[in-house]
Amino acid sequence: MKLTEFPAPDFDLTMTLDSGQVFHWEKVDNGFVGVIGDRAFCVEQRGEMLRALLEGGAPATPGTRHANGAGSQELAPPVMQLVTDYFALDHPLAEICASFPDDPVMNAARDFCRGLRIIRQPKWECLATFICSSMKQVAHIRQISAALRKRFGDPRKIDNHVIHTFPPAERIARASETELRECALGYRAKNLRATAQLVSSGECNLEGWSALPNGDLRKNLCELPGVGAKIANCVMLFAYERLRAFPIDVWMERVLKQQYFRRARKLSASRLRGFSETYFGEHGGYAQQYLFHHARATSRKSGVSRNSSVHRAL
């Protein structure tokens, strides 16, 4: 198969996809297959070059036209543009990493996670996935995502692989709670369905919320069924590109306590939030992701068992 090749300096594809941001990309041969929006991709990395293939078996190029839902013709974005935007290759990663606090813990995480980028995820997909992630380990989240996609999404073929899009809110809203529970959602099925109904009805305008300041955006997200402060911050970081958002789950709480508050006997959630918001600065979301992934990878290598029963647990 012929892939489009383009430069991707300061980027680590495998580490980015393995860092607990997204849960549907599959390792195939020398790369990964997955869906960006409603389009299937195969992406490989060779040094500082990315090679990508768009569904249909040929690389998309500027000027390619395709039919939209109304049957008319529109200009299809080139594969390079779609992949570059999704993996945030335009983020000034060197500047972002240079803004991190200069301490041994953060420096170790920064060095280990070199090339890890915050993915720009579709808003509904990100919100729904993290609602499903509550009290679940990564392997379980991947299973739930796959089950929802297979049952309610649309099939896409990339090379010889069939993958599925994430179902739109309208399809989840029409599903019964029983059908959603059959995708291993458990009690999360009720929350996901209720939120999907708010989104599909227009009462919850995820795209319109992009213009809101951080405080209002977080407040709106937290009013949705199944969304608390931790999930709201994940959605703010991964879907709304609010790079200061610092999700604190049980796992991150443990990391912060062990590394920054070793002598503290009692530590409130509000104190941790205040510390993370000020100490890690305007790119706190990146700092959090680096700390999270470094701690998780270190735990894997040491063979230490962690069973944090929260979203993005091991």
Structure confidence by residue, pLDDT tens digits, 115-124? 999 999 999 9
Listed range (106-115, 145-154, 259-268, 273-282) with the worst mean pLDDT: 259-268
Kindly tell me if the per-residue pLDDT of 78 is higher than 90.
Answer: no
* pLDDT tens figures, 191-232: 999 999 999 999 999 999 999 999 999 999 999 999 999 999
pLDDT at 310: 37
Kindly tell me if the per-residue pLDDT of 306 is higher than 50.
Answer: no
Is the domain covering 95-113+242-300 a CATH 1.10.1670.10 domain?
A: yes
Q: Residue 3 — very low, low, confident or very high, per pLDDT cuts 50/70/90?
A: confident
Least Cα distance to 241 among 96, 101, 53, 136 occurs for: 96
The pTM of the full predicted model, rounded to 2 decimals, is: 0.89
Does residue 69 or residue 94 have the better pLDDT?
Answer: 94
Residues 6+ apart with CB under 8 A from 68: 74
Q: Give CA–CA dist 197/181, Å, rounded.
A: 16
Location of structure tokens 């990878």: 297
pLDDT at 177: 97
Phi, psi of 55 (to 5 degrees): -50, 145
Ramachandran class of 188: left when φ > 0, alpha when ψ lies in -120 to 50, beta otherwise: alpha
- What number is the average pLDDT over the span 122-134? 95
- Angstrom distances, CA of residue 230 to CA of 65, 120, 137, 269, 280: 41, 18, 15, 11, 17
Domain range 123-238, CATH class: mainly alpha
Helix (H) or strand (E) holding 57: none
Least Cα distance to 112 among 44, 43, 18 occurs for: 18
Where do the CATH 1.10.340.30 domains begin and end in the chain?
123-238
- What number is the average pLDDT over the span 81-100? 97
Residues 6+ apart with CB under 8 A from 268: none
- What number is the average pLDDT over the span 280-299? 93
Strand, helix or coil for residue 247: coil
pLDDT at 67: 35
Where do the CATH 1.10.1670.10 domains begin and end in the chain?
95-113+242-300
Kindly tell me if the per-residue pLDDT of 17 is higher than 60.
Answer: yes
Q: Report yes or no: 292 and 20 within 8 Å, Cβ to Cβ.
A: yes
* CB-count burial class (<10 Å; 0-12, 13-18, 19+) for 30: exposed
pLDDT at 302: 59
Tokens found for residue 66: 């395709």
Residues 6+ apart with CB under 8 A from 158: 33, 40, 41, 42, 53, 54, 55
Tokens found for residue 280: 């890690």
Kindly tell me if the per-residue pLDDT of 104 is higher than 70.
Answer: yes
pLDDT at 307: 40
Strand, helix or coil for residue 54: strand
Strand, helix or coil for residue 49: strand
Helix (H) or strand (E) holding 161: strand 161-164
Q: Report yes or no: 74 and 68 within 8 Å, Cβ to Cβ.
A: yes
Kindly tell me if the per-residue pLDDT of 74 is higher than 50.
Answer: no
Q: What is the dihedral of CA 61, 165, 131, 246, to 10 degrees?
A: -20
pLDDT at 311: 41
